[in-house]
Amino acid sequence: MDTAVATYNGWSNRETWLAHLWLTSDEQSYSLLRETARKGDVFERAEFLEELLREQLNDEAAEANMWCDLLNTAFNRINWLEVAEHI
């Protein structure tokens, strides 16, 4: 299988799909997306969203352990530009 063209439910990967799914599934996340939608172009929206959520991740997963490393790895695989394009 050519991983360069592999997708997950139409998204570039499972992590991106999951991020979008969770960000569109509750009122608090919806408010965040509305705030994000007010930011400049799609690149600025993607950067804003990634930075804001990275801060939250760093606050929640501040320890150095296997679980935090796995969370950070998954977070780094998210295609934030793709998420921002769907806002």
Q: Which domain holds residue 61?
A: 14-85
Report if residue 9 sits inside a domain. Answer: no
User: Is residue 42 situated within a structural domain?
Assistant: yes
Number of independent structural domains in the chain: 1
Question: Average pLDDT of 63-83?
Answer: 93
Kindly state the percentage of the chain with pLDDT values over 90.
63
Per residue in 6-45, pLDDT (tens digit) is 689 999 999 999 999 999 998 988 888 888 888 899 999 9
Nearest Cα neighbor of 52 from 65, 39, 64 is: 39
What pLDDT is attached to residue 38?
87
CA distance 20 to 86: 8
Under the banding of pLDDT at 50, 70 and 90, the label for residue 63 is: confident
- pLDDT of the residue at 64: 87
